[in-house]
Amino acid sequence: MSILFSEDQKTVHIRNASVSYVMEVVDGKYLVHRYFGKAIRAYRGCGEPHYFKRGYNTEHDCSIPNVSFDDFPFEYPIRGNGDFRIPAFAVTQESGVEFTELSFRSWKVLKGKPEIPKLPATFAGKAEAETLEIICEDPAAGIRVYLYYSVFEEKGIIARHQRVENTGNQIVSLQNVQSLSLELPARDYDFLSLYGTHAKEGNISRFSIHHGIQRIESVRGSSSPQHQPFFALMQPQTTENSGEVYGIHFIYSGNFLAQAEADQFGNVRAQIGIHPDTFCWRLAPGEVFDTPEAILNYSSQGLNGMSRNFHWLYQYHLMPDRFQGRNRPILLNSWEAMYYDVNLEKLEEQAELAKKLGVELFVLDDGWFRADNTSRTSMGDWKCNEKKLPGGIQKAAELIHGKGLQFGLWFEPEAICKSSELYQQHPDWALQVPGYQMTEGRHEYLLDLSRQEVREYLLSVLDFYLKDGTIDYVKWDMNRPLTDVNSMSLVREKKGEISHRYVLGLYEILERMTRKYPQVLIEGCSSGGARFDPGMLYYVAQNWASDNTDAFDRVQIQSGFSLIYPPIAIGSHVSITPNHQTGRSTSLNTRYQVSRLFNLGYELDLTKCTEEERSEIAGQIAEHKKERSWLQKAEFYRNETPNENYVSWLSTGKDKEECLVLIFQKFFNPLYAHGRFCLNGLNPECDYLETFSGKIYGGDELMEIGVSVPLIKEDFHVFTFHFVRESHREQSEKWY
């Protein structure tokens, strides 16, 4: 890893073994992009731009002949200077003028990676990363912008964010401060992103980009199930295992805009950042504004290469490191078994059975504080309903601990309902627009997290429950999008800041809570995967991926999320069949296999399972306990499949000594030939024992020829292979 300036200080080359990122300062003032992609040894000015004098265009004070700003690869573009493409930065000055011009001033290298105040961000030790800080300035407007580029020692990742400082004596309004802008050369690209809806998140969309702007966004207040704050640009021929990919992901949980513009010449500009439509930040003299971090991920090894980079980054440089080495507990969640109708007897019955089957954590979901068994009441007060749970949460926790299980509790801290005592006392604490009817979502409003007193109230509620240490796990839910986005306490000039201040307020609560109770494992949730983003993952060590627990749908949902998130971050539960969301029936084995490589849990009424089913579950749990210490840290791959009737996943231990392969046959269909699946992530030089069949194969054989499966007369069938490297066999526990 290195950040090298050329002798004349005109170019800078950020590099590690995987990637290079090159910028140049033209005429001492224009900061332009030169290259991002596979690592090169050194940059000596190769590929200099040649400009053609075009009509209906602008002329510039620039030493490059015929330069057109509409074709110039600005590193951090603004609008109004002759570049008519998407701008990364826009400011309104006090005079009302909507213009600024950023000129290069200086650059320097920082060891390690700076924190971003009040925002989640990837972290690294001093020896693990280096950061380039570039200063650009508009002295007339009194604006200084610091651009940050952090390169990690390992992997093709560059983390970026910006700081804006008001160095003048006028108040300016930031209208648009994107976290990342990237220039890519004119070529054909595909645009890949994840779209969805409640209970069907993480669907892959892929299309070839056309001239003009293509964008995905959220204006729902959270990152949303509609679009993950992620997209990738890649060569049309890129597959799971080959081809170039530029992945872009945003470490943020609120409104975002992600876009790519192919200009008239085919040059491509990609950006991600806070959505400018719902953002306007007033910056007084001396104040600074920090953008959230964006991740730039380059892979020359297809989508699997991109996923491995993201998985590594999030697992070791974003998610709470105190949980890194710890096995995740196998849990039983009460939701699909009881919904709101919880009581002490049911808890006791489930916990007793759960303990016998090997479950380690019981999570009491929604219902414990509700006056009745609906979502219509009680939200905001956080008082246990003692008719359901005499003795309160304390007693319930004691009961569960008494059965030898850890205890987890569900909260939806951000919500409030009209009938709550809290609303009666503090009607102004909800987001609302005076004079207009407030909009309900799941019979709730949202608290105004931009207010300090609201944040203190929520922290006091959490303190009340967490302080005696009886709660080991919190499921933090949020079940509606933001509407009526107005704060009763913010002055007129700051109204444009509310959406972002809501997210900052949420982060402050999570930061203070996790600092005070670091041992409490938090699961993020938002009606499933509606706020599943890397911003949340900085605080919560796992996220409930979807309210849809149907195994068939989960294969697609988890495959989609696996593009960016490591399996350990994705909660996956075995539930009852027919499935509550889809009515589909799948075997208990299929449901387990679908969850097994992820964060395994159960969400079903154990008293309604047959003896046989319970003993099958006990077997699954026993098996998972043996494998999870390597599986939860494994490298995850999506294997290429011969046709769309199959999906295949593979997890391999860090030193490629052990490997689990799952192949899902969606439907029985005699039209398909039997499938052959080339495996990823093995050592081609080693031999592997397949432990079910007792056969030995070469790693190269498995990677080049692959395993095959017969056509089975069964929908949703799963084939499982388990390989152990021959040299590793002796030491490994024989558990098959």
Side-chain-side CA neighbours of 392 within 13 Å: the count stands at 8
The residue type found at 342 is: V
Is the distance from CB of 82 to CB of 68 less than 8 angstroms?
A: yes
Residues 6+ apart with CB under 8 A from 63: 26, 27
Q: Between 198 and 501, whose beta carbon lies closer to ligand GLA? A: 198
> Using CA atoms, how far apart are residues 202 and 205, in angstroms rounded to an integer?
9
Is the distance from CB of 722 to CB of 660 less than 8 angstroms?
A: yes
CB of 197 to ligand GLA, least distance (A): 13
CB of 472 to ligand GLA, least distance (A): 17
Q: Between 156 and 528, whose beta carbon lies closer to ligand GLA? A: 528
Provide the 8-state DSSP code for 337.
Answer: H
Q: Between 479 and 514, whose beta carbon lies closer to ligand GLA? A: 479
Q: Between 93 and 527, whose beta carbon lies closer to ligand GLA? A: 527
> Using CA atoms, how far apart are residues 121 and 116, in angstroms rounded to an integer?
7
Q: Between 293 and 477, whose beta carbon lies closer to ligand GLA? A: 477
Q: Between 151 and 446, whose beta carbon lies closer to ligand GLA? A: 446
CB of 118 to ligand GLA, least distance (A): 27
> Using CA atoms, how far apart are residues 431 and 141, in angstroms rounded to an integer?
34
Q: Between 148 and 544, whose beta carbon lies closer to ligand GLA? A: 544
Q: Between 158 and 337, whose beta carbon lies closer to ligand GLA? A: 337
Going along 521-587, which residue ranges are E strands? 521-524, 542-544, 570-575
> Using CA atoms, how far apart are residues 416 and 411, in angstroms rounded to an integer?
12
> Using CA atoms, how far apart are residues 247 and 239, in angstroms rounded to an integer?
14
Tokens of 30: 């224009």
Alpha-carbon distances, residue 475 vs 39, 224, 306, 334, 365 (angstroms): 42, 18, 29, 12, 8
Size (the chain), residues: 736
> Using CA atoms, how far apart are residues 615 and 628, in angstroms rounded to an integer?
20
Residue ranges in contact with ligand GLA by CB under 6 A = 335, 365-366, 410, 477, 479, 525, 527-528, 544, 547
Tokens of 618: 């006990």
Strand partners, 698: 687
> Using CA atoms, how far apart are residues 85 and 83, in angstroms rounded to an integer?
6
Pairing of strands 675-677, 200-208: unpaired
Which residue is closest to ligand GLA by CB? 366
CB of 336 to ligand GLA, least distance (A): 8
> Using CA atoms, how far apart are residues 495 and 484, in angstroms rounded to an integer?
12
CB of 366 to ligand GLA, least distance (A): 3
Side-chain-side CA neighbours of 574 within 13 Å: the count stands at 29
Provide the 8-state DSSP code for 285.
Answer: T
Q: Between 263 and 477, whose beta carbon lies closer to ligand GLA? A: 477
* Tokens 């990738």 sit on residue: 232
The residue type found at 668 is: F
Q: Between 183 and 477, whose beta carbon lies closer to ligand GLA? A: 477
Q: Between 385 and 641, whose beta carbon lies closer to ligand GLA? A: 385
Strand partners, 115: none
Q: Between 367 and 560, whose beta carbon lies closer to ligand GLA? A: 367
- 71, 366, 381, 477: which one is catalytic? 477
**Coil, helix or strand at residue 572:** strand
- 3-state helix vs strand vs coil in the chain, percent to 5: 20, 35, 45
Cα-Cα end-to-end distance for the chain: 43
Is the distance from CB of 706 to CB of 676 less than 8 angstroms?
A: yes
Q: Between 142 and 380, whose beta carbon lies closer to ligand GLA? A: 380
Residues 6+ apart with CB under 8 A from 17: 39, 154
> Using CA atoms, how far apart are residues 174 and 280, in angstroms rounded to an integer?
6
Question: Rounded to a whole number, what is the largest CA-CA distance in the chain?
Answer: 81
- 71, 533, 547, 550: which one is catalytic? 547
**Coil, helix or strand at residue 382:** coil
CB of 82 to ligand GLA, least distance (A): 49
CB of 724 to ligand GLA, least distance (A): 36
> Using CA atoms, how far apart are residues 366 and 362, in angstroms rounded to an integer?
13
CA 546, 568, 243: angle at the middle one, nearest 5?
90
3-state SS track over 192-256: EEEEEECCEEEEEEEEECCEEEEEEEECCCCCCCCEEEEEEEECCCCCCCCECEEEEEEECCCCE
547 part of the active site: yes
550 part of the active site: no
- Alpha-carbon dihedral 509, 118, 3, 274, rounded to 10 degrees: 100
Is the distance from CB of 259 to CB of 181 less than 8 angstroms?
A: no
CA 395, 396, 402: angle at the middle one, nearest 5?
85
**What amino acid positions are annotated as catalytic residues?**
477, 547
